Amino acid sequence: MGSVTDTANMGSVTDTTNTESGKKVTVIFVLGGPGSGKGTQCTNIVQNFGYTHLSAGDLLRAEIKSGSENGTMIQNMIKEGKIVPAEVTIKLLQKAIQESGNEKFLIDGFPRNEENRASFESIVRLLRIVPEIVLFFDCSEEEMEKRLLNRNQGREDDNIETIRKRFKVYMESSLPVIQYYGNLGKVRRIDAAKPIDVVFEEVKAIFEKVDA
């Protein structure tokens, strides 16, 4: 895993996309803890601002369902709340980017740790993809836990045991990524503990500025 050849291949795939379309690709990272409302708000953003929503978690779950060779590994990692190697996730993201035909993307739930971030950046640096801004859905653990236990989406990781592990991974590995982008002045923090429509008003105000 993580071989030089693989990385070179991934680079060329996106490179082709860019040269073919000749367009600038805009990426916005949507980050925040499990249950902070990333997916819900991404759906709202898509309807209003013409982005394509790419949930890294959804892509990984689809990969499990497809019966791919990585499926079992991904399934085990999700069950344990662990973070799948960037190589796997980035390939899925690149494929979805190519297939979409769009040039504006919300990448939801990725990058989740320093390894994810560094891999993504080493690939996109060569291309014209730069994360424009990072939306940070900030929510208390208490509220996130309540939402996760009530959402009933049949997810194997929405049980209290895995939720605790996900919170720990989020605090230890994902928050530093948000801090990294914060230091670059890219983070837009949103109070995500409020009701969906109130949160979306805050989100809308941010996007009106991005698109202006």
Whose Cβ is closer to Mg ion: residue 10's or residue 92's?
92
Considering only residues 60, 139, 177, 203, which one is a binding residue for ligand UDP as defined by CB under 6 A? 60
Considering only residues 32, 35, 37, 39, which one is a binding residue for Mg ion as defined by CB under 5 A? 39
C-alpha 7/C-alpha 34 separation (Å) is 28
Binding window for ligand UDP (CB under 6 A); candidates: 109-117, 122-130, 179-187, 204-212: 109-117
The pair of structure tokens assigned to 120 is 């993504």
Whose Cβ is closer to ligand UDP: residue 153's or residue 212's?
153
CB 89 → ligand UDP: shortest distance, Å?
4
Q: Which of 184, 201, 212, 6 is nearest to 94 (CA)?
A: 6
The pair of structure tokens assigned to 160 is 């209290």
Instruction: Round to the nearest angstrom and report the end-to-end CA distance of the chain.
Output: 41
78 binds, among ligand UDP, Mg ion, none (CB under 5 to 8 A by kind): ligand UDP
C-alpha 103/C-alpha 114 separation (Å) is 25
Whose Cβ is closer to Mg ion: residue 18's or residue 36's?
36
